[in-house]
Amino acid sequence: MSTTVSKHQNFVGGEWVDATGGETMEVLNPATGETIAEVPRSSAEDVDRAVQAAKKALPEWLETTPGERAEILLKLADALDQHGDEIAELESQNVGKPLSYAKDEIPVAVDNIRFFAGAARLLEGKSAGEYMRGYSSWLRREPIGIVGGIAPWNYPLMMAVWKLAPALAAGNVQVLKPSEQTPLTTLRFAQLAADILPAGVLNVVTGDGVPAGEAIVKHPDVRLVSLTGDVETGKIIARTAADTLKRVHLELGGKAPVIVFDDADPEAVAAGIKIGGFWNSGQDCTAASRVVAGPKTSRWTISSSWPTSTTTVGLTKKPRLPFDSPPVRTVAFLARSRKPSTRSCWDFEITGPISISSPSAGSPTCSDSTAGTSSSSNRS
């Protein structure tokens, strides 16, 4: 059955525009491998066009009161809420995650916008005072200006909202680049925002990290860059941002531990590890990638208590089953589990998307300064 390929444009200055060079890139449904959309392959010139649109919108947006910004954000939240089912369907299709998971994320995104709508009215500075004779001192909080946002592929719209809502609430304007793999819900959100936000307050450009993301970080008029991504990308952004003294907000990957105390129930531990490690197919910056365990747990084995029978791979619209979306990119998490640990832990092996086995039964293979090891076959 053929799939209809939708065509999309960048959202710049309240208008929908192609990339200046006319180039496009394909967007895939990772569950099927089919091309489902084409979006602009933006260049540094496209980013500059978006920044100039934001710069033009900034003076008027700076004049809005907290109450006015709060009212606009509440309208954005209502629009997202009203189109939640449609957007969840699109997220599921573009990301390849279960539809039920995508639907769970919409209320979180809506609530986040409403939270910052309220926070817009609570901006405050330190108390004024006379700390030198003849002088009064006070702290005044003012918007930074143009904020660049670079969102990830695992929670595309939710992470985009987490960037734009606080920026707009504080009186800033936004240039946002979604992941080149998963831009569709952010573009759909921009369509909703076009009827609510003044032109240029929110701008969305699609494209690769280089050159589009890099251009956001390097642009001298962008005063803060917020990234949700991997550690190496964060390091590059921090170094690059230093050249123009930009502020950075970096939400990067982790090596999150599951801490197991001596009196823990093995069955509960197994269930917790499964949820912590494989929620959203393990594609989560806080996904559990190691176990830090007390000395009395050394007799446990993962194979004796791991409920693998409910770990199911399937298409995204099947009835909700635990972890029914196969991993897309989990190698980074697995690689981090190889790094040294100074505490007791278990060694376990991931031999495929969901098949899990332990080493020899009853024999913990990791203690003190020895690192656990993991390996995986990555789905293409």
What integer pLDDT is reported at residue 339 of this predicted model?
A: 53
What integer pLDDT is reported at residue 310 of this predicted model?
A: 54
The answer to whether 366 is a known catalytic residue is no
Residue 250, beta-bridge partner list: 227
Is the pLDDT higher at 377 or at 95?
Answer: 95
Both structure tokens of 336: 């981090």
156 neighbors 94 (Cβ within 8 angstroms): yes
Among candidates 234, 294, 293, 284, which has minimal Cα distance to 255?
Answer: 284
Q: Residue with structure tokens 């390996």?
A: 375
Residue 127 DSSP one-character state: P
Q: Looking at the predicted structure, is the pLDDT value of residue 125 above 80?
A: no
pLDDT-based confidence at residue 288 (cuts at 50, 70, 90): confident
Choosing from 105, 180, 285, 366, the catalytic residue is 285
Choosing from 38, 214, 251, 349, the catalytic residue is 251
Of 197-206, 288-297, 325-334, give the range with the top mean pLDDT.
197-206
Q: Looking at the predicted structure, is the pLDDT value of residue 18 above 80?
A: yes
Among candidates 251, 98, 85, 95, which has minimal Cα distance to 182?
Answer: 95
Residue 376, beta-bridge partner list: none
What integer pLDDT is reported at residue 147 of this predicted model?
A: 98
One-letter amino acid for residue 267 of the chain:
E
Give long-range contacts, CB 8 A cutoff, 24+ apart: 38-41.
38/5, 38/6, 38/7, 38/8, 39/8, 39/9, 39/180, 39/183, 39/184, 39/187, 39/206, 39/207, 40/8, 40/9, 40/10, 40/205, 40/206, 40/207, 41/206, 41/207, 41/208
Among candidates 155, 149, 144, which has minimal Cα distance to 50?
Answer: 149
What integer pLDDT is reported at residue 315 of this predicted model?
A: 56
In the chain, the percentage of residues whose pLDDT exceeds 90 is: 59
Among candidates 375, 282, 287, 277, which has minimal Cα distance to 328?
Answer: 282
What integer pLDDT is reported at residue 297 of this predicted model?
A: 74
pLDDT-based confidence at residue 118 (cuts at 50, 70, 90): very high
Is the pLDDT higher at 376 or at 73?
Answer: 73
pLDDT tens for 307-361 read: 544 555 555 555 433 333 334 444 554 555 455 443 333 333 333 333 333 333 3
Question: If you average pLDDT over residues 102-128, what whole number do you get?
Answer: 92
Q: Looking at the predicted structure, is the pLDDT value of residue 368 above 80?
A: no
Residue 350, beta-bridge partner list: 356
Among candidates 126, 137, 184, 130, which has minimal Cα distance to 156?
Answer: 184
pLDDT tens for 188-200 read: 999 999 999 999 9
One-letter amino acid for residue 152 of the chain:
P
Q: Average pLDDT of the chain? A: 82
pLDDT-based confidence at residue 70 (cuts at 50, 70, 90): very high
The answer to whether 251 is a known catalytic residue is yes
Q: Looking at the predicted structure, is the pLDDT value of residue 378 above 80?
A: no
Q: Looking at the predicted structure, is the pLDDT value of residue 45 above 80?
A: yes
135 neighbors 354 (Cβ within 8 angstroms): no
Both structure tokens of 28: 């895939």
